[in-house]
């Protein structure tokens, strides 16, 4: 929440920092509390576009994150006035508007996210203004200075109008959605062809003085795009991390319990661990998977 301190996300980006966060798709404040308390994330992004997160739950989630000292941004349901107002009134430090395809749409986003004279955001008695008790000109100026306004480029049409979008005053960040961009362009994700398009977007944004962000799933992809100049990364999501952890554990268990008929065990040398023993290693901490790797269930389990 905007608190008058000059250490918000927008200021950190201006100082040249790289910010790593993750999407939250699960509509419950416990997720924000858990991640905020236990992991060194720069921010959390509530995924309101592709989830069931609604206004009341959103405010509870932002409040939980704020209590841990980790700020929230919200990827909006759409680029319309009410979702933008609700996210910012709930205390989000920024918004990411999906599918911004023209300068006019980017201008509408900036107007809705900023108070006059920059924009036309209404003065509501929400949590961000201490329920109306801190809605004066000082707060509104701080909000305009600190709220991060980001537009998402993820379509062929956005590419066609990219330079006009980047020229919109008040647009702080262009966020690249690789999956939808690949779909719109008829390309395959994670290919050199798509990566060249994304790198071109990053370079054009840099030339216009606009910072960039991107969604990734792996540490390797995150490192790659940060090396290309991206400053804000949304690394996977709560559900992706859940799938990675469960998928890895199930695969590890299945590997340890292969039927004896599948492969005859080799003779065990004297003093070596037997076939049911596990040799401890130093790598007992969490690992970063290169993919989700969740084994598909081919037969439905019977429930008696």
Residues tagged active-site? 50
CB 156 within 8 A of CB 197: no
Cβ within 8 Å of residue 297, ≥6 positions away: none
Place of tokens 């929440």: 1
Instruction: Dump strand ranges (E) for the chain.
Output: 19-24, 43-47, 72-75, 94-97, 148-153, 173-176, 211-216, 232-237
Cβ within 8 Å of residue 67, ≥6 positions away: 33, 36
Torsion sign over Cα 75, 77, 80, 82: negative
Comparing CA positions, the residue from 247, 275, 280, 272 lying closest to residue 262 is 275
Place of tokens 């004297």: 270
């Amino acid at each position: 929440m905007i608190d008058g301190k000059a250490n918000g996300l927008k200021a950190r980006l201006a100082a040249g920092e790289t910010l790593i966060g993750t999407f939250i798709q699960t509509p419950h404040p416990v997720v924000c509390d858990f991640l905020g308390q236990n992991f060194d994330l720069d921010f959390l992004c509530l995924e309101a576009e592709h989830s069931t997160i609604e206004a009341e739950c959103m405010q509870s989630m932002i409040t939980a994150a704020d209590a841990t000292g980790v700020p929230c941004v919200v990827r909006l349901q759409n680029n319309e006035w009410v979702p933008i107002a609700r996210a910012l009134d709930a205390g989000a430090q920024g918004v990411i508007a999906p599918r911004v395809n023209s300068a006019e749409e980017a201008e509408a986003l900036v107007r809705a996210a900023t108070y006059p004279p920059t924009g036309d955001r209404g003065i509501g008695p929400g949590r961000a203004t201490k329920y109306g008790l801190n809605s004066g000109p000082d707060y509104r100026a701080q909000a305009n200075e600190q709220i991060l306004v980001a537009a998402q480029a993820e379509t062929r049409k956005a590419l066609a109008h990219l330079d006009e979008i980047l020229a919109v005053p008040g647009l702080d960040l262009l966020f690249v959605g690789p999956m939808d961009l690949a779909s719109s362009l008829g390309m395959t994700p994670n290919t050199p062809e798509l990566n060249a398009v994304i790198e071109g977007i990053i370079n054009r944004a840099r030339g216009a003085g606009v910072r960039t962000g991107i969604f990734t799933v792996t540490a390797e992809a995150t490192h790659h795009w940060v090396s290309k100049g991206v400053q804000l990364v949304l690394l996977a999501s709560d559900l992706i991390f859940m799938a990675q952890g469960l998928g890895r554990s199930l695969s590890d268990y299945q590997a340890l319990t292969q039927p004896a008929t599948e492969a005859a065990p080799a003779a065990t040398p004297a003093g070596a661990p037997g076939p049911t023993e596990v040799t401890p290693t130093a790598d007992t901490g969490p690992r970063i998977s290169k993919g989700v790797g969740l084994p598909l269930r081919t037969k439905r389990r019977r429930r008696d």
